[in-house]
């Protein structure tokens, strides 16, 4: 899985002293994401994302997080087209927040203090008045900057909620490693690994009480959105030279839940 934060070249804390005259011209180019094949996905995004993306779980240990697959090879995002246009219907919030991001010494600490940063290498950053100002003539935050803060605060809240969801999945032993292999029509082979999925049989074996807890927490719905999204793996791969899965055309659920280490 590609390293996610490489979309930020030089993230610097936003301050009146440094950015008092700065504006941000957002534009519609996602060129900055062209070389990443997955991005984190928050729990609140499962519903809009599941219809077109494959949702899996990337990372290891305390860093496991849901991600959407954007490509099957390193350094390749199949959803960034000519001129940096996004070719999917839904753009993950991880990308929509760019060029801004929160930083903290320990983001997992309950009393963590977050600092708003901006990637100064973003092409839309300028001191010529193009786009939206960060601070007004009196040095106060503009409504645009307030909206950016609100978006990132909501994102951080969703991040904490998503981490609790993943922790519950791990405690219930529902996650298992998965590997998918493809053969392109050119004869080239591609392997996608380094992620986990929910094991459907383990899910079915849970007690009624555990299933009820998942349902009451609105997490059972997330689980089934994830499982349903696994049928999108082949269509995503088809964006690369019409690949043909190595596996026989089994039922989507069988293919989706039969992972290997």
DSSP character string of 172-236: TT-EEEEEEEEE-TTS-EEEEEEEEEE-HHHHHTS-HHHHHHHHHTTHHHHHHHHHHHGGGHHHH
Average pLDDT over residues 71-92: 91
Contact call for residues 197 and 56 (beta carbons, < 8 A): yes
**In this predicted model, what pLDDT tens digit does every residue of 68-78 receive, in sequence order?**
999 888 888 99
Side-chain-facing half-sphere of 186: CA atoms under 13 Å: 6
Contact call for residues 223 and 214 (beta carbons, < 8 A): yes
Whole-angstrom distance, CA of residue 140 vs CA of residue 143: 9
Contact call for residues 194 and 58 (beta carbons, < 8 A): yes
Average pLDDT over residues 73-95: 92
**In this predicted model, what pLDDT tens digit does every residue of 197-234 receive, in sequence order?**
999 999 999 999 999 999 999 999 999 999 999 999 87
pLDDT for res 59:
87
pLDDT for res 186:
64
Whole-angstrom distance, CA of residue 22 vs CA of residue 131: 9
Residue 114, pLDDT > 60, answer yes
Whole-angstrom distance, CA of residue 143 vs CA of residue 136: 9
Average pLDDT over residues 50-78: 91
Whole-angstrom distance, CA of residue 190 vs CA of residue 27: 34
Closest CA to 133 of 22, 27, 28: 22
Please give the mean pLDDT across all residues of the chain.
Answer: 86
- Beta strand pairing status for 189-198 and 132-133? unpaired
Picking from 145-159, 195-209, 247-261, which range would have the lowest pLDDT averaged per residue?
247-261
pLDDT for res 258:
28
Q: What is the pTM of this model?
A: 0.84
Residue 175, pLDDT > 60, answer yes
Residue 247, pLDDT > 80, answer no
Residue 251, pLDDT > 70, answer no
Tokens read off for 65: 């997080």
- Beta strand pairing status for 23-24 and 125-126? antiparallel
pLDDT for res 19:
97
Instruction: Give the model's confidence band at 243: pLDDT under 50 very low, under 70 low, under 90 confident, else very high.
Output: very low
């Amino acid at each position: 899985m590609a390293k996610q934060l490489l979309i930020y070249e030089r993230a610097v804390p936003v301050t009146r002293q440094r950015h008092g005259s700065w504006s941000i011209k957002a534009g519609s180019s996602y060129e900055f994401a062209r070389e990443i094949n997955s991005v984190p996905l928050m729990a609140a995004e499962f519903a809009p994302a599941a219809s077109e993306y494959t949702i899996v779980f990337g990372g290891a240990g305390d860093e496991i997080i849901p991600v959407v697959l954007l490509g099957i090879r390193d350094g390749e995002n199949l959803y960034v087209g000519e001129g940096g246009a996004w070719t999917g219907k839904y753009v993950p919030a991880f990308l929509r927040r760019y060029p801004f991001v929160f930083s903290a010494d320990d983001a997992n600490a309950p009393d963590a203090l977050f600092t708003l940063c901006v990637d100064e290498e973003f092409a839309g950053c300028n001191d010529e008045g193009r786009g939206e100002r960060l601070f007004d003539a009196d040095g106060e935050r503009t409504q645009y900057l307030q909206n950016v803060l609100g978006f990132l605060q909501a994102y951080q809240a969703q991040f904490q909620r998503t981490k609790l969801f993943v922790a519950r999945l791990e405690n219930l032993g529902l996650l298992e490693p998965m590997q998918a292999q493809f053969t392109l029509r050119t004869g080239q082979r591609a392997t996608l690994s380094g992620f986990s999925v929910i094991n459907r049989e383990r899910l079915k074996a849970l007690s009624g009480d555990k299933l009820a807890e998942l349902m009451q927490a609105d997490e059972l719905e997330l689980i089934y959105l994830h499982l349903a999204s696994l049928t999108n793996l082949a269509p995503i791969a088809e964006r690369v030279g019409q690949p043909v899965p190595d596996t026989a055309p089994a039922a989507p659920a069988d293919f989706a839940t039969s992972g290997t280490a």
